[in-house]
Amino acid sequence: MKDVEVTVMRYDPEEGGNPRYETFTVESKKNMTVLDSLFLIVENQDPTLSFRCACRLGMCGSCGMLINGRGRLACRTKIEHLGDQIKVEPMRNMDIIKDLSVNMDKFFKSWEKVKPYFVPKENTDEFSIIPPSSGRREIIDENQDCITCGLCFQSCDTVSLRNGEFIGPAALNRGYTLIADERDGLREERLDMLSETAEGAFGCRTLGACVEVCPKGIKPMVTIQKIKTKKLKKSLGLKW
C-alpha cells in the first residue's frame, strides 16, 4: 500500500466562477481503480464530489472521464499503472453538470441522427439468419460492442473544432454497422445521410484519437473510411 495524490477538477455551473483543482491523498491498494479512489474521497474526505458510474465492470460506459489527460473508464483504470500523481477531469466536448459529471445530450443527439435502430426490409423476415459460413457476419461483428461511453466523442478534435457540425465517431460507427447489414431497409438512405453533409463521414479529419481511447477496441476511424468507400462505389455505379 502507498499514498497517491488524486487531483480532481471541481466546477459547479450554478455557483459560477472558474474551474479549480483540489488534491486528495488516497491510500492505494493492489488492483485499486481510479473509480475506487473517487469513492474513498466521497466517503472519507469530501461528500460533495460528483461523478457518474453504474456497473463498475467496464460494461455500461457511465464513468468516462479524462485521467492523466487521456479519456478512460475510471472503473477499468488501475492506479498502479498511473504513478503517484493522478489528475482527473470531466470529458471534453460536453457541458459540465458538476465536477466530473457531464451532460451527454450532445453525444446522444448525434447518435440519434443516424437512426441507430434496425429497420427490416419489406417482405423480409426481421429475424432472418445470416449463415455463419457466409462471411457477412464478420463485417459488422467487430463494431457492435460500443457501450456509448462517449470517450471517442470527447477525444475527437474534429468534434471540438466543428462545434457540433460533426456527429462524431460513435454515431458514424453505429451507422456503418447498419449500412453493412444487408437485411436493413434503410441502407441506402443511411449511406446518403452519413456521406452527403459535412457533419458526416467526409467531415472526419482522420486524426485517430477515437481509436486510441475506445475501451472496447473498436476502430471508428476505420469504419468511417469504409463509409466513404461505399459512397464512392455507389457514386460510380459499383456494388457497395
In tens, the pLDDT along 66-93 reads 999 999 999 999 999 998 999 999 999 9
Q: pLDDT category, 183, cuts 50, 70, 90?
A: confident
According to the 3-state scheme, what is the secondary structure of the chain?
A: CEEEEEEEEECCCCCCCCCEEEEEEEEECCCCEHHHHHHHHHHHCCCCCCCCCCCCCCCCCCCEEEECCEEEEHHHCEHHHCCCEEEEECCCCCEEEECCEEECHHHHHHHHHCCCCCCECCCCCCCCCCCHHHCHHHHHHCCCCCCCCCHHHHHCHHHHHHCCCCCCHHHHHHHHHHHCCCCECCHHHHHHHCCCCCCCHHHCCCCCHHHHHCCCCCCHHHHHHHHHHHHHHHHCCCCC
**CATH code of domain 104-235:** 1.10.1060.10
In this prediction, residues 159-163 reach a mean pLDDT of 88
pLDDT of residue 143: 82
- pLDDT, one tens digit per residue, over 191-219 is 999 999 889 999 999 988 999 999 999 99
Domain extent listing, the chain: 2-102, 104-235
CATH, domain 2-102, list 3.30.420.40, 3.10.20.30, 3.40.50.1000, 3.90.190.20: 3.10.20.30
pLDDT of residue 23: 98
Global pTM reads: 0.90
